[in-house]
Amino acid sequence: MKVSTVGLDLAKNVFQVHVVDEAGEVVVRKALRRRQVLPFFERLESCLIGMEACGTSHYWGRELCALGHEVKLMPPAPEKMRQRRETVEHPFGTIKARMGATHFLMKQLKNVRTEMALGGGAYNLTRVMNIMGIGPLIQAMRA
């Protein structure tokens, strides 16, 4: 097994590493603490490491190049982050707006669970009404 490519997601304390071999199979997918990053890459044979360009990427690029790896910095893709954020945030934003809140001020997990369960149920019921229509929904509920 020969490692060909490594994806490194930089962060403050916990870095995500995704290692792929020449066949394209995932070999390693794990989280590393800051102090574990250099020892991890010292054990790997020379390979291509890709990471997003950010504040600390140049430092890590120099450190990894010193270990004999080839480092490629990729420009940030804000449109991808926006797309991911909208995909995840849309249902919750809609639920919160329907409940008349811009943010939740609930304390204790059981209260938050209850509020979110009711809000989620209302959101799903509204979606079903929009998709099926009210008449077929009532007929389905009576059956």
Band of pLDDT at residue 85, cut at 50, 70 and 90: low
pLDDT at 24: 85
Q: What is the 3-state secondary structure (H, E, C) of 88-139?
A: HHHHHHHHHHHCCCCCCCCCCHHHHHHHHHHHHHHHHHHHHHHHHCHHHHHH
Indicate if the pLDDT at residue 99 is higher than 70. Answer: no
Question: Going from the N-terminus, what domains does the chain have, and what CATH number goes with each?
Answer: 3-76 (3.30.420.40), 79-133 (no CATH)
Q: What is the mean pLDDT of residues 71-92?
A: 75
- Complete edge-to-edge strand list for the sheet that includes strand 26-33: 26-33, 14-21, 3-9, 48-52, 70-74
Which of 61, 9, 20 minimizes the C-alpha distance to 44? 20
Per-residue pLDDT of 108-125, as tens digits, reads 666 667 777 777 787 888
pLDDT at 101: 61
Which of 6, 113, 103, 105 minimizes the C-alpha distance to 51? 6
Per-residue pLDDT of 14-68, as tens digits, reads 999 999 988 888 899 999 999 999 999 999 999 999 998 888 999 999 999 999 9
CA distance 19 to 15: 13
